[in-house]
Amino acid sequence: MIIEDNKVTTDERSPLTAFNFAWVDFNNNVIDGASGGSGIQISKSQVNVNGGSIGPIGGWNGIWSIGESDVRVENVTIQDTAKEPIIAGEYHFGDSGWNVPSPSENRMYVANSILSSDGGECTGQKAWGGDFPCPGVHAFRSSLTLYNNDIDIGGGGDGLRAVGAILDVRNNVFNSTGTGAMIRNHDTNYANDPQFGSLGFFSMNTWTGVGQTYNVTKSSITVQSENIPIPNQASNTTNPVSLSWPDAEAYEWNNWLGQVLIPTTSIWPPQNFPLSMELTNNSTVFTYSNLTGLDTSNIYIDTSPIKWAVQIRKAEIVKFRTLVEGVRVGDATVLIEDSRGDDLYTLTTDSLGWTPEISLASDFHLDMTGGGPGGINPDRYADDEGENSCSDGIDNDGDLIMDADDPDCQNGTNSRELSLYYVSAYKFGKGYKKYSITMTSQVGVLSEIISLENMDPSITVNQNDGHSFKRSVNFTGTAHDGTWAGIYASDELAQWDQQGIVEEVQVKDPFTSDWIDMKYAVDDSNADGQVTYNNHPFRNWYFEYDMSDQPEGDYTFEFRAFDGVTESQISTRTIKLNTEPPTIWVDGPAAGSQIDDGIVHFEGRASDAYTGIFGSDIQRIWFEVEGPNNYYNLFDKPGSTAWSADWTVGHLPSGTYSVKVWASDSAFCINSADECAPVEMTLEIDNDNALPVVQLLTPYDLQTITASEETLLSGVARDTDGTVTKVEIVIKDPQAGFLEMPEGSHSLVTDIMPNGGWATTWDTTNLVHNYHYIIEVRSFDGFQYSEAASIEVIIDNPPNQDNNRPVFNSTAWPDSVTIFCEETGSSQNRCGSGHNIDLTEFFSDPDGDDLTYYVLDLADKLEDDYHDEVITIGSNGIANYNPITMSFYLPNMEDWSLSDVVFEVRDSAGSIVASDPLNFDVVGVSFSSQCAGLMVDGGFVAGCPAEVSQTDTLVFTGSGRPTVNVVGETSGGIRLGNTEVSDDGTWTLEIPANRLDKGDNTIVFEYGSVEQPTNTDSEITVEGGDEEGSGLFMWIGLGLLALIVLAALGAVFVFFFVEFEDEEFEDEMMAPEQEVDPYAWAKAKQQEQAPAVQQPVAQQPVVQQQTAAAPQVAGYPGWKWDAEQNKWVPDNE
């Protein structure tokens, strides 16, 4: 019900009565009267009173609430009431003449209101022992919040009276001549009934005109940030706070008799109540911090000398702020526990991340010593030396050692146990943090920053690298925050594990360079943003992206989950994109082919536009067949760019069959041709009686067989439309005109295994040594014979029966060898010495016989006709092939390679063994050189710049024939280095730049002692230039000068010490000096190799040079000396 903007005046009854589960919003109404009742009466209902006024009320209270009622009062003025302006819970329970229900949970929230009354006479026999001035607010076994109210009570009434209540009292102004807050426990005075203490939190209240500010009995309250006034004269005391425990001590040995428990209304605590629902069951506890006008010297302990009955806790003001990743976190829960793990406060942060200010005790005081004889008896004040945390019976610092036993209490009067507290902060989706603080005396407010630790989210992508998508990608996966165990027993367990939710799954596509332009996956979990025992947001997600306009290839996507605070590790997937179907070609059989052997052998090719890192994407080759009698078959075989497949058709009826063949990749044309263009053909299947087939597997063709009584003959015989009943074997002698040999036990085989295998033995002991014999087999299926299969064998059956055949060891035998030959020139040394093979390393004879080696030349094989002509074998068993010998038969170098060369050896008894085939591969090479780069600071840098530093090292590379020497020189003839062409036909030479002149240089290479033409890489410029002078010519000049000096000294020496006896020698010495020929070394070598002919006397050397014949230089073939140009030139010029 909603009641608004009314003026209600009654004579006797209440203007508003809400009983038995009513729900009323009572807004901006003005009510008065009620000479026999209260302004608003509430029982077992929910009522919100906002605005308006109540009073004068002539009967009882402004608002009276009992039973399971939840009442909220805001911005209301309550005035001139005959009794208390507000009652929360009926304190007349148990009084004579009152019919009041048993206490139950009851809650009231009063804020921003004005409460005033001149007081009146109230009575409460059980709760208060008789009459008392009516207070401003009366709470009995209820939860009460008073926030920002003005409470003005006359007549000596207290500002607040509470019995067994839970109180949250903040920012109020109390004006009262009685006690500010009279707080006590509820005791029914019935045997075995529990007592319920009050629990209160007071902060920033203002007290004026009061006698005592706080009077507390068998309860626990916390007071902070208040000014405690001096009691008024009427109170007849100087102590603003009085604490009492009037009963005997409650302890284990009396089964906690007289203890106080938390009120049952704790089920409905005050809104945002900071304290935990915990009471010290055997003490009145007063915790205070940041109070003026109050310390332990004026807190009166009104109790018998029971050590633990009253505790005074000196506390510090603390507030907490929660952050995560430096960002403030509002609505976080902060739990404070003492050193024993008991809850003290449960706080909630505001929008800036701050909790309310709270009090945490730093010292504990008991009244233990004082004004009695010897100063050892309590004096009702806990301000004497030693009355601190070392005497409170509490393990304040959590080290499991209490009071005097703790070393912290053994260091003099100023030492004590320090208070340890555990702080736990948590917000679902932001993080969790637990740590401890030790509370010491503080000045002002202690501000604690709590940095929540957020657990990173996790993400899983279902598709692996290499997954194929057709035109559009559709990734799927899972994601979760924190940890996830799968299925939980409850929602709470799942939430504690995950500690948050994934808010986004972020995707960076291949065309996005930064996460700022990311895309988002779609939550497919149907979790509605909640974590439950079996579900959570993004438990399933998907991401679709159209890529039909992109070419086929590899594309990389990146994925991460975001929980509102941090991102997960990035998951990367590289996928294959398919946008075009594959293409297929069928090379065989041809359309219209007739198949009569029971098997269709398909072969062909296929291609696909995908050429990425995952290799060919041709997956399967599909065949769709239709034939007679509604025959239909769809099957597939493994595919590749070159494919083949067999289709067994021997069981099918004869007739015409239509076949469609297509290739599928990882996305297109799987199970159907779809977008592919299949190859269509018809085949004629003839299965009226398919011929059987037979194969001879042992021995193999041209095998040399050692004579034996049981030479094995074996093979396979099959029939596609029946059963092979027998295999017939015929032996023929080519030496006798291919006559058939006599039959024997080997001639007929009838024991055919289910898989077609067959075997028999053949007595070869009577066959002629080294004769060739033909083995011919055919199978029979009961109707027709198969085509014959035949092989040729050689019998090893020397007259000396004790002879053992030679042995060939193929362990290190190569499959092929490579020989490099110069591509140009006509020298006989173009291929060097060719390639040698020591056959003795591979052939041996068990009997120690001498072996004869030769090259096999099969009469029926044209390809090996030149093998024994061009390969030589020495008496030492070393075979050599020099490809230049092949030039006499075939002039083109590409024809000089030899394939399948077989070597055979024969022992003295005539037994033969052959090697495995060997290929001689001839590769043409020619000299080349280029500057590959520089060695700079020990590292190679590719490319040669226009100018190099003297600290650089030039790296020249090139090609040539292996073992040929390569020499680097300057154009002036200074040698720079040399190397040899390696076995793979390449060479490398490093030339330090400091060996070159500053400025321009020309590097010339000699290959096999023959100077090679220069190229663009031959010109090298060393930094420095002409202005710094030529280092090379400077050194040459100095060298010449030294030679001249030495020559002069030598002449003097000769003149004085040598006697000349030969005039002819003297004439020679005086002859004119001739020009030095720089190529004299080559000409001398030419003369050494030229035929010995009569040469004319060298009286005309110039003419001699012009008529000299072109030489052949052994070191490098393919060049000739040009006498006119005085240099070497290619011999084809």
Which residues have a Cβ under 8 Å from the Cβ of 754 and sit 6 or more positions away? none
Instruction: For residue 860, give both structure tokens.
Output: 């029926």
Residues 794 and 702 sit within 8 Å (Cβ to Cβ): yes
Helix (H) or strand (E) segment spanning residue 493: helix 491-498
Q: Identify the band that residue 556 occupies on the pLDDT scale cut at 50, 70 and 90.
A: very high
Tell me what pLDDT residue 980 has: 92
User: What integer pLDDT is reported at residue 2 of this predicted model?
Assistant: 95
Q: What is the pLDDT of residues 708-740, one digit of tens each?
A: 889 999 999 998 878 899 999 999 999 988 988
Tokens (6 digits) for 449:
């920053």
Q: Among all chains, which residue has been given the structure tokens 């409905």?
A: 268
Q: Check whether 1114 has a pLDDT greater than 90.
A: no
pLDDT of residue 598: 84
Which is more confidently placed, 143 or 1097? Answer: 143
DSSP 1110: P
Query: Rounded to whole angstroms, what are the CA distances from 218 to 764, 829, 1020?
Result: 121, 121, 105
- List pLDDT tens digits, range 310-334: 888 888 999 999 999 999 999 999 9
Check residue 1083 and give its pLDDT: 41
Q: Strands 519-520 and 504-508: what pairing?
A: antiparallel
Residue 776 pairs in a beta bridge with: 730, 790
Is residue 1102's pLDDT more than 60? no
CATH superfamily name and code, 458-578: Immunoglobulins (2.60.40.10)
pLDDT at 63: 97
Nearest CA-CA partner of 383 in 394, 375, 373: 375
How many other C-beta atoms are found inside a 10 Å radius of the C-beta of residue 115?
29
Going by pLDDT thresholds of 50, 70 and 90, the confidence category of residue 341 is confident
Specify whether the CB–CB gap between 584 and 621 falls below 8 A. Answer: yes
Residue 1052, Cβ neighbours under 10 Å: how many? 10
The pLDDT-based confidence of 368 (bands split at 50, 70, 90) is low
Give yes or no for a cis peptide into 537 (omega within 30° of 0).
no
> pLDDT (tens digit, 9 = 90+) per residue, 442-465?
888 899 999 999 999 999 999 999
pLDDT of residue 565: 93
> 789-796 and 703-706: which strand pairing?
parallel
pLDDT of the residue at 373: 46
CATH architecture of the region 310-451: Sandwich (2.60)
CB contact at 8 A, 732 and 776: yes
Percent of the chain clearing pLDDT 90 (strictly above): 60
Q: What is the rounded distance in angstroms from the CA atom of residue 107 to the CA atom of residue 263?
A: 12
Which of 252-256, 597-601, 613-617 is predicted least confidently? 252-256
Per-residue confidence (pLDDT) for residue 1091, from 0 to 100: 39
The CATH topology of domain 583-685 is: Immunoglobulin-like (2.60.40)
Q: In this predicted structure, what is the pLDDT of residue 1016?
A: 84
Interval 245-268 mean pLDDT: 87
> With bands split at pLDDT 50, 70 and 90, how would you rate the model's confidence at 1070?
very low
Which of residues 475 and 1079 earns the better pLDDT score? Answer: 475
The predicted pLDDT at position 419 comes to: 84
Distance CA 708, CA 764 (A): 5
SS3 1035: helix
**pLDDT for 1098:** 35
CB-based burial label for 729 (10 Å; 0-12, 13-18, 19+): buried
Query: What pLDDT, on a 0 to 100 scale, did the predictor assign at position 189?
Result: 80
Polymer length of the chain: 1133
Is there a contact between 746 and 761 (Cβ–Cβ < 8 Å)? yes
Q: Identify the pLDDT of residue 311.
A: 87
Higher per-residue pLDDT: 282 or 476: 476
Read off the pLDDT of each residue in 253-276 and give the average, rounded to a whole number.
90
Q: Pick the more confident residue, 1055 or 600.
A: 600
* 31-66 per-residue burial string, b: 16 or more CB within 10 A, e: under 16: bbbbeebbbbbbbbbbbbbbbbbbbbbbbbbbbbbb
Q: How far apart are CA 291 and CA 301, in angstroms?
A: 18
Tell me the CA distances in angstroms from 551 to 512, 546, 762, one per residue in order. Answer: 17, 12, 65
SS3 908: coil
Write down the pLDDT at residue 392. Answer: 59
Residue-level pLDDT at 1074: 44
Q: Which long-range CB contacts under 8 A does 1010-1013 form with residues at least 24 apart?
A: 1010/1082, 1010/1113, 1010/1115, 1010/1116, 1010/1119, 1010/1128, 1011/1127, 1011/1128, 1012/927, 1012/929
Specify the CATH superfamily of domain 693-796. Immunoglobulins (2.60.40.10)
Reported as a single tens digit per residue, the pLDDT across 975-1009 is 999 999 998 889 999 999 898 889 999 999 998 88
- Output Rg (C-alpha) for the chain, integer angstroms: 57
pLDDT of residue 1086: 40
Degrees (nearest 5) of the Cα angle 531, 532, 534?
A: 120
Each residue of 930-951: pLDDT tens digit? 999 998 888 888 888 888 888 8
Torsional sign, CA 376, 378, 384, 386? positive
Mean pLDDT on 1004-1020:
87
- Domain ranges (residues) in the chain: 83-303, 310-451, 458-578, 583-685, 693-796, 807-924, 926-1029, 1034-1069, 1092-1133
pLDDT band at 545 (very low <50, low <70, confident <90, very high): very high
d(CA 309, CA 247): 9
Tokens of 440: 């010491």
| Start-to-end CA span in the chain (Å) | 120
340-372 burial, b if ≥16 CB within 10 A, otherwise e? Answer: eeeebbbbebeeebbbbbbbbbbbbbbbbbbee
Q: How far apart are CA 1065 and CA 1053, in angstroms?
A: 17
d(Cα 900, Cα 258) in Å, to the nearest integer?
112
pLDDT-derived band of residue 81, with 50, 70 and 90 as boundaries?
very high
Mean pLDDT of 623-636: 96
Of all residues in the chain, the percent with pLDDT exceeding 70 is 86
SS3 944: coil
Residue-wise pLDDT for 145-203, tens only, equals: 999 999 999 999 999 999 999 999 999 999 999 999 999 999 988 877 899 999 999 99
**CA 1043 – CA 384 distance, rounded (Å):** 115
Distance between CA 144 and CA 136 in Å, rounded?
13
What residues have CB less than 8 Å from 197, skipping those under 6 apart? Answer: 164, 185, 218, 219, 220, 260, 261, 262, 263, 279
pLDDT grade, residue 1107 (50/70/90)?
very low
What confidence category does residue 561 fall into, taking pLDDT thresholds of 50, 70 and 90? very high
- Is residue 853 over pLDDT 50? yes
pLDDT at res. 468 = 93
DSSP reduced 3-state for 1055: helix
Q: What is the rounded distance in angstroms from the CA atom of residue 797 to the CA atom of residue 464?
A: 64
Torsion of CA 1045, 1050, 1055, 1057, to 10 degrees: 140
pLDDT band at 59 (very low <50, low <70, confident <90, very high): very high
The stretch 503-518 carries a mean pLDDT of: 95
Please count the helices (runs of H) and the strands (runs of E) in the chain: 7, 88
SS3 296: helix
Evaluate if residue 4 carries a pLDDT over 70.
yes
The predicted structure's pLDDT at residue 313 = 87
* Secondary structure (DSSP) of 951-1013: T-EEEEEEE--TT-EEEEEETT--EEEEEE--TTSEEEEEEEGGGSPSEEEEEEEEETTEEPP
Q: How many CB atoms lie within 10 A of CB 806?
A: 22
What CATH code is assigned to 926-1029?
2.60.40
Burial status of residue 252 (CB atoms within 10 A of its CB: 0-12, 13-18, 19 or more): exposed
At the topology level, CATH places domain 807-924 in: Immunoglobulin-like (2.60.40)
Left (φ > 0), alpha (ψ -120 to 50) or beta: where does 832 sit?
left
Token couple for 810 = 């193929």
Please provide the average confidence, as pLDDT, over all residues in the chain. Answer: 86
